[in-house]
């Protein structure tokens, strides 16, 4: 059974870079035509797609966050990662990692439990 688990610091200082990792278990990150994505949910607000990446690279990002995002994959560890630069309090959110097939019409079929990241000043 495929499982995804987010990890990283729960507190990040304003203006610094948020770094999270998603570890995939129960399956290989290189198997199947799947993209691996990040979604966030600020407290009391809705879900927002951040970006997605294929195991061989080729990330694509939400236009509203594109200038601050870097995503990468480590196939040897079956992990993919997110870096969000220059964070502010508005970046405080629960961050989820998830899987989806390639294509505009696709859904996110497996999700991690989510991890809360709080930006403080």
Partner 1 sequence: QSVLTQPPSVSGAPGQRVTISCTGSSSNIGAGYDVHWYQVLPGTAPKLLISDNNSRPSGVPDRFSGSNSVTSASLAITGLQAEDEADYYCQSYDNSLGGYYVFGTGTKVTVL
Site string for partner 1, 77-106 (x = CB under 8 A): -------------------x-x-----xxx
The full 3-state SS of the chain, as one line of letters, equals CCEEEEECCCEEECCCCEEEEEEEECCCCCCCCCEEEEEEECCCCCCEEEEEEECCEEEEECCCCHHHEEEEEECCCCEEEEEECCCCHHHCEEEEEEEECCCCCCCCCEECCCEEEEEEC
Name the residue nearer to partner 1 (CB basis): 11 or 116: 116
Confirm or reject binding of residue 64 to partner 1 (CB under 8 A).
yes
Query: Which one of the spans 14-22, 25-33, 41-49, 72-80 is the region binding partner 1 (CB under 8 A)?
Result: 41-49
Q: Count interface residues toward partner 1 (CB under 8 A).
A: 23
Name the residue nearer to partner 1 (CB basis): 5 or 78: 5
Interacting residue ranges for partner 1, rule: CB under 8 A: 37, 39, 46-49, 52, 60, 62-64, 96, 98, 104-109, 111-114
């Amino acid at each position: 059974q495929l499982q995804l688990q987010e990890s990283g610091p729960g507190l990040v200082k304003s203006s610094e870079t948020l770094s999270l990792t998603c570890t995939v278990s129960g399956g290989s990150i290189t198997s199947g035509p799947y993209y691996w994505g990040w979604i966030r949910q600020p407290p009391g607000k809705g879900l927002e797609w951040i970006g997605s990446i294929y195991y061989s690279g080729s990330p694509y990002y939400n236009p509203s966050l594109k200038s601050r995002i870097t995503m990468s994959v480590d196939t040897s560890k079956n992990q993919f990662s997110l870096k969000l630069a220059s964070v502010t309090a508005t970046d405080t959110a629960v961050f989820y990692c998830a899987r989806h097939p390639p294509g505009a019409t696709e859904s996110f079929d497996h999700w991690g439990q989510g991890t809360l990241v709080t930006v403080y000043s």
